[in-house]
Structure 1
């Protein structure tokens, strides 16, 4: 995981998505925000 620029998190469905350090609050479109 150290080679990836950011962090890997899993949503409640078990799908992995990358959270960027600088855009973790602005571009979270893979989790629940993409569904809503």
Structure 2
């Protein structure tokens, strides 16, 4: 399960993604690929 959410004040080109306890910033262009 991949959880994607935005954080206020974060770069609009990035979202936060969380999968299996791993969390990190992911560029939107990467998400459009998958």
Question: Could you say which TM-score interval applies, normalised by the shorter chain?
Answer: 0.3 to 0.5
Greater Rg by CA: 1
TM norm structure 2? 0.38
Which structure has the highest strand share of the two?
2
TM norm structure 1? 0.38
